[in-house]
Amino acid sequence: MSLLAGKIGIVFGVANKRSIAWAIAQAWAKAGATLAFTYQGERLKENVEELAGTFGPDTLLMPCDVTKDADIDKVFADVGAKFGKLHLLLHSVAFAPKDALEGQFVNTSREAFRIAHDISAYSLVALARGAAPLMTEGGSMVAMSYYGAEKVVPHYNVMGVAKAALEASTRYLAYDLGPKKIRVNCISAGPVNTLAARGISGFSEMLKHYEAHSPLKRNVLPEELGATGTFLASDGAAAITGQVLYVDSGYQIMGM
């Protein structure tokens, strides 16, 4: 069943094969979508080249630092030149300075707060503005969030505040872009062992905590995020917009 046959998509946030963006990109491609990829900088170029190359040698691959408006403009100009249109966008990008995720939230510096919000939340607004003019047949934008947006998760700190901004931005974008049949949703994923998670002290305890306390008594698999990403991108989700969909083994429903 080719749920996404004829759809053109762009993926932001692949760093390596463990990236959530890669799991969702693979699922989108398997469902029939044609994909373009971006990478953050030269450091990641080779990795992403090798992964994106599995979809064929002429896969569109572009550098994009989401803090740079010129990069974003160039990406959508290139997509426009190659495909003339776009249906899907995946935002799977987040960053806060390491020290902001270690101490107390009360000590967050102005600069760490700015960086976390610029990269992790404002970037969705900038990417949506770049993509929307190409989504002439309607579209689906999907961003990745985490439970720390709505409840305190110790040490998630300024990232939790940035995810709250990302989720609220999703709702305002859904309102603005709805008349163009462009939907905007978040997937709030349970913890997944990726590069972004690796550096976090206590991350393996967090995986154990979800196993012990989630209704399904297990962690989320990357391919399950891929399946949800495919659903949100598909016409089955045609009336779903502005939502945060939890893909977390049910953890979010628990009060204790």
Residue numbers at the binding site for ligand 0WE (CB under 6 A): 94-96, 98, 101, 146, 153, 155-156, 159, 191, 196-197, 199-200, 206
Q: Taking the CA atoms of 68, 140, 20 and 252 in sequence, report the sign of the dihedral they define.
A: positive
What does the DSSP assignment read for 83-124? Answer: HS---EEEE------GGGGTS-GGG--HHHHHHHHIIIIIHH
Residues 90-149 that bind ligand NAD (CB under 6 A): 92-95, 119, 144-146
CB of 202 to ligand 0WE, least distance (A): 7
Q: Is 146 a catalytic residue?
A: yes
Q: Is 195 in the site for ligand NAD (CB under 6 A)?
A: yes
The residue type at 40: Q
240 binds, among ligand 0WE, ligand NAD, none (CB under 5 to 8 A by kind): none
Catalytic residue among 146, 147, 246, 251: 146
Q: Is 156 a catalytic residue?
A: yes
Q: Which stretch binds ligand NAD (CB under 6 A): 18-26, 27-35, 134-142, 236-244?
A: 18-26
- Binding string, 173-192, against ligand NAD, x = CB under 6 A? ----------------x-xx
Catalytic residue among 39, 147, 156, 246: 156
Cα–Cα distance measured from residue 109 to residue 114, given in angstroms and rounded to the nearest whole number = 9
Residues 211-250 that bind ligand NAD (CB under 6 A): none
Angle between helices 110-117 and 157-177 (to 10 degrees): 40
66 binds, among ligand NAD, ligand 0WE, none (CB under 5 to 8 A by kind): ligand NAD
What does the DSSP assignment read for 177-238? Answer: HGGGTEEEEEEEEPP--SHHHHTSTTHHHHHHHHHHHSTTSSPPPHHHHHHHHHHHHSGGGT
- Binding string, 44-83, against ligand NAD, x = CB under 6 A? x-------------------xxxx----------------
Q: How many CB atoms neighbour CB 31 within 10 A?
A: 21
Active-site positions read 146, 156
